[in-house]
Structure 1
Amino acid sequence: MFMSDEELGLDTTISRKDGLSFITTREGNEPVDNEIMIIPEPIYRPETIVSQANLYCRTKHDIFIIKFSWGQMQNDPKLDI
């Protein structure tokens, strides 16, 4: 039995196809998802990623900027088990 990417704690918001990275979005209640291609070279990245930071990437057609943000968890989930 294998664990899913989500169960392993991997970021499931980004998908990869043929060596390209995509993020999937949905507009309102529309049943169709939109895939937006991400240019992998960040336009801004923090010098360190120890506690919290933001990473910004462009999209293929320069319509959007993707912001990845992370921070420290308030509670240690291992203690809840």
Structure 2
Amino acid sequence: QTGKWSAAADRWHTGFVDAAGCGGLLGQIEGRAAGDVLAWPADTPLTWRQGVRFVAIDMSPLCRAAIRTGLPQATVVVDHFHV
């Protein structure tokens, strides 16, 4: 009505992909803040989270901090696309 745009959603999304298995999309959430990134794994079974050995991310310090908190046993690596 005003002729101005307003954001109805966060422009960033975080995807969780099985890069070592079939490469399928496991989940996707809106946002990329630490709380956003922590929310999806928190809804998965503890045994699944404990089995995650590596997490490939972009170079976001917020994402790295979230992974260190939510999946402390996982080794964090930067994917080739973002290097």
Q: TM-score range by the shorter chain?
A: under 0.3
Q: Which has the higher helix share?
A: 2
Larger RCO (CA within 8 A; separation ≥ 6): 2
Task: Choose 1 or 2 for highest CA Rg.
Answer: 1
TM-score when normalising by structure 2: 0.25
